[in-house]
Amino acid sequence: MPKQAAEPRSLIERVVAPAADVPRSASRAGKRRALAMTCALAVAVSASWIANAGAVEIKVVDDSDGKTVTILLTGAMVTGDALRVRSFVGGVAASKSITVQLGFSGGLRTDAMSIGRFLNQTRIRTVIPANAHCTSPCPLVLVGGRDPVTGKPSYIKFSSSALGFTGVKPNFPDRDYTVADLDGAVANTQRDILQIADYLRDVGADMNLLKYYQSVLRQNETQYITNEQALDLGIAIMFEETGQVIEPSKARP
C-alpha cells in the first residue's frame, strides 16, 4: 500500500500543503490548478479585503456625562485611516475614558492592525454595538481593545451584532504559471499569516482567531461566527435580552 502523507501539523503547513504536494514535473494544467488552490487560500489572508470604497467615518456618538466618550467607526478601511483615528482620539481630553464602537467592513488589513495596536497601547475598549456589522478586517481592531484601568483585554460583541470574515476577488489572470509563481504565492500566504499571528500575539488575543483566516471563501461571501464561537475566542457577549455581559469561560491573558 502506498504510504499516506502525514497530516500537516502547523497552521502554515495546512495552508500551503496543496501547493507543496505538486511535483515539479507536473503538467502546466496541474500546476495552474495547484496555483489556483493556493491563491484561493491566500485570498483569506490577503493584505486587504475589498468590500466598500471610501475612508472610515469617525464620529462621536456619546459624550453626555463629561467623563466618557464613545467613538463609532463605520465604512471601510483605506490607506491613512490609522493616522486619522489616532488624530481623532488625540483630540479627546486625556481625562475622559474612551470606548470605540466598530461597525465597518472591508478595506486594508495593515491600517486595521495599526489601529488595533494603538487602541491596545492606549487602553481603549472596543465594542460591536447592537445590530452592527463588523467584518474583515474589523475583527482585528476589535481584539485590540483594553480596559483603561486594569490593562486587560476588553472587547464586547452585542448579541444582535454580526462578526464575520470575508474573502476577496482573486486578481490572478488565466495564464500559464511557473513553479516560481507557485512558490511566490506560497511565500506570500505564509508571510500574511505570520503577520496576523504576530499582531494577535502583540495584543494578547486568542491565536485561535487564525483559523478563520484559513477559510476559502468565494467572492462576496462572508463567514459569520456565532456568539458561542465568539466566546470561545475570548470575546465577551452583551446579552441584550437581559442586559448581562457574558464573559468567556476561559481565563483571559
pTM for this model (two decimals): 0.76
Cβ neighbours around 106 below 10 Å, total: 21
Task: State the alpha helices, DSSP H only, in the chain.
Answer: 11-20, 28-44, 81-90, 109-121, 138-142, 179-202, 227-232
Cβ neighbours around 125 below 10 Å, total: 20
Q: CA-CA distance, 36 to 212, in Å (whole number)? A: 20
What pLDDT is recorded for position 176?
76
Q: CA-CA distance, 77 to 87, in Å (whole number)? A: 15
Backbone angles phi, psi at 106, to 5 degrees: 85, 160
Q: How confident is the model at residue 62 (pLDDT cuts 50, 70, 90)?
A: very high
Radius of gyration of the chain (CA): 20
Q: Which domains does the chain have, with CATH numbers?
A: 7-44+176-216 (no CATH), 48-167+217-246 (3.90.226.10)
Q: Which of 10-24, 63-77, 212-226 has the lowest mean pLDDT?
A: 10-24
What pLDDT is recorded for position 20?
44
* DSSP output for 210-224: GGGGS----TT-EEE
The CA dihedral of 45, 46, 51, 54, to the nearest 10 degrees, is 130
Cell, residue 187: 511565500
What pLDDT is recorded for position 171?
52
Q: Is the pLDDT of residue 233 over 60?
A: yes
Question: What's the mean pLDDT in 124-141?
Answer: 97
Segment holding 62, helix H or strand E:
strand 57-62
Q: How confident is the model at residue 222 (pLDDT cuts 50, 70, 90)?
A: confident
Q: Is the pLDDT of residue 167 over 50?
A: yes
